[in-house]
């Protein structure tokens, strides 16, 4: 997929835009889980999520290898779109982003503020993704899928930061959307020769990757109605699934209530805001805490971009209902 040299170069590129995000061991999380917990804070990037890393690498490669491209179009529930909008503006390339109807109001506003043209289409991410691919053909833009080699290389730089700071992690829990994050973690672990087990996390209401891993083939679901919109995927990537099958220890499915509980725990124990996908790894660790007790565990807090009304609902002790 990529070499250690390519990963090191990607990290150097990312660090020209922002410094490495922190990885903190929080005592209250340790007390809550019974494990030594190290949180990788991707909610501390300039767009509040890990995806920015992939966008920066993608556009650097595009400007070098495909300078004739007149624009880029993609689909997102928010963080991937913010990444492309941010990096596209830096590179001087127009970016159009397709989001499903009813998408996060605040993520939509953030994408517009970063310079993206925002287009609302479809009932969910997968319908928006299909429209984005058609729009690329119509406009003559390049279609940027959420899972693509340069994007995986870019987001893998957070795993490089985490693993070089903590080479002795017993396990790391990673949320799964379309799969770039977990695939980057798996590849980075292998390049560094570590023994850390990689555990994927999905929502009970968006469990296509778990079903697919269990079946040994891509399984599409009819819906992905989770308030953790970063994991709301119905159609897995076959390429991502192959990497997960070859390198992940397992995929854990967590309930919506457990995700909301984990968001509250993050705020109570660390005063960090975690969006649903960002809190899901903590929910999975709490679900498996008897087996993980006393071990050193990494948690990927992939982003903190949650709408204010949704977060108010969580802090009020309730579980949000997806749009």
- Write the CATH number for 171: 3.40.50.1100
pLDDT at 323 over 80: no
- Is residue 164 situated within a structural domain? yes
pLDDT at 132 over 90: yes
- pLDDT tier at 235 (50, 70, 90 boundaries)? very high
Looking at the structure, tell me whether residues 251 and 194 fall in a common domain: yes
- Is residue 185 situated within a structural domain? yes
Looking at the structure, tell me whether residues 125 and 179 fall in a common domain: no
- Is residue 225 situated within a structural domain? yes
Looking at the structure, tell me whether residues 270 and 157 fall in a common domain: yes
pLDDT at 55 over 80: yes
pLDDT at 78 over 90: no
Using the 3D structure, point to which of 108, 128, 143 is the last residue of a domain.
Answer: 143
pLDDT of residue 126: 86
Looking at the structure, tell me whether residues 41 and 161 fall in a common domain: yes
- Is residue 161 situated within a structural domain? yes
- Is residue 201 situated within a structural domain? yes
Average pLDDT over residues 308-316: 97
- Is residue 321 situated within a structural domain? no
120: which strand partners? 99
Domain extent for 249: 4-50+149-315
- Asked if 42 and 22 touch (Cβ cutoff 8 Å), the reply is no
Query: What backbone phi and psi angles, to 5 degrees, belong to 295?
Result: -95, 165
Q: What confidence tens digit (pLDDT) does each residue in 197-220 have?
A: 999 999 999 999 999 999 999 999
Looking at the structure, tell me whether residues 191 and 263 fall in a common domain: yes
Looking at the structure, tell me whether residues 90 and 235 fall in a common domain: no
Looking at the structure, tell me whether residues 168 and 69 fall in a common domain: no
pLDDT of residue 48: 96
DSSP string, 19-77: PPPPEEE-HHHHHHHSSEEEEEEGGGSTTSBTTHHHHHHHHHHHHHH-TT---EEEE-S
- Is residue 322 situated within a structural domain? no
pLDDT of residue 223: 87
pLDDT at 90 over 90: yes
Cα 55 to Cα 132, 223, 263, 302: the distances in Å are: 17, 27, 26, 15
Looking at the structure, tell me whether residues 160 and 250 fall in a common domain: yes
Cα 165 to Cα 21, 24, 99, 228, 319: the distances in Å are: 11, 10, 36, 29, 35
pLDDT at 173 over 90: yes
- Mutual angle of helices 180-191 and 149-165, in 10-degree steps: 50
Between 26 and 323, name the one with better pLDDT: 26
Task: Please give the Cα distance from 206 to 229 (Å, whole number).
Answer: 9
Looking at the structure, tell me whether residues 306 and 247 fall in a common domain: yes
Looking at the structure, tell me whether residues 31 and 121 fall in a common domain: no
Domain count, the chain: 2
pLDDT of residue 248: 98
- Is residue 323 situated within a structural domain? no
Mean pLDDT, rounded, of the chain:
96
3-state secondary structure 181-217: HHHHHHHHHHHCCCCCEEEEEEECCECHHHHHHHHCC
Between 135 and 1, name the one with better pLDDT: 135
250: which strand partners? 199
Q: What confidence tens digit (pLDDT) does each residue in 12-52 have?
A: 999 999 999 999 999 999 999 999 999 999 999 999 999 99
Question: Which of 68, 63, 109 has its CA nearest to residue 88?
Answer: 63
Using the 3D structure, point to which of 121, 143, 165 is the last residue of a domain.
Answer: 143
Q: What percent of the chain has pLDDT over 70?
A: 100
Looking at the structure, tell me whether residues 174 and 204 fall in a common domain: yes
Using the 3D structure, point to which of 95, 113, 143 is the last residue of a domain.
Answer: 143
């Amino acid at each position: 997929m990529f070499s250690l040299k390519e990963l090191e170069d990607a990290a150097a590129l990312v660090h020209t835009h922002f410094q490495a995000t922190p990885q903190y061991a929080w005592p209250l999380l340790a007390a809550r889980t019974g494990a030594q917990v190290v949180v990788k804070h991707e909610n501390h990037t300039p767009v509040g999520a890990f995806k920015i890393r992939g966008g920066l690498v993608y556009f650097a490669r595009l400007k070098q290898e495909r300078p004739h491209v007149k624009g880029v179009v993609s689909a997102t529930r928010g963080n991937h779109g913010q990444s492309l909008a941010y990096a596209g503006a830096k590179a001087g390339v127009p970016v159009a982003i397709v989001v499903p109807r009813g998408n996060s109001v605040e993520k939509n506003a953030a994408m517009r503020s970063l310079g993206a043209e925002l287009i609302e289409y479809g009932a969910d991410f997968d319908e928006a993704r299909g429209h984005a691919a058609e729009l690329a053909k119509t406009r003559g833009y390049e279609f940027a899928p959420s899972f693509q080699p340069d994007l995986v290389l870019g987001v893998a730089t957070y795993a490089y930061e985490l693993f070089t700071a903590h080479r002795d992690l017993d396990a790391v829990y990673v949320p799964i959307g379309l799969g770039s994050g977990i695939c980057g973690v798996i590849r980075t672990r292998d390049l560094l020769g570590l023994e850390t087990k990689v555990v994927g996390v999905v929502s009970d209401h968006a469990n296509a990757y778990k079903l697919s891993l269990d079946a040994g083939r891509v399984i599409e679901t009819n819906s992905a109605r989770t308030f953790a919109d970063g994991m709301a995927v119905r159609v897995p990537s076959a390429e991502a699934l192959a990497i997960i099958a070859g390198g992940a220890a397992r995929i854990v499915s967590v309930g919506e209530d457990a995700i909301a509980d984990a968001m509250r725990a993050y705020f109570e124990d660390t005063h960090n805001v975690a969006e649903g996908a960002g809190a899901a790894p903590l929910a999975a660790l709490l679900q498996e805490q008897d087996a993980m007790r006393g071990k050193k565990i990494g948690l990927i807090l992939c982003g903190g971009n949650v709408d204010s009304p949704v977060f108010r609902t969580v802090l009020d002790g309730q579980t949000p209902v997806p749009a």
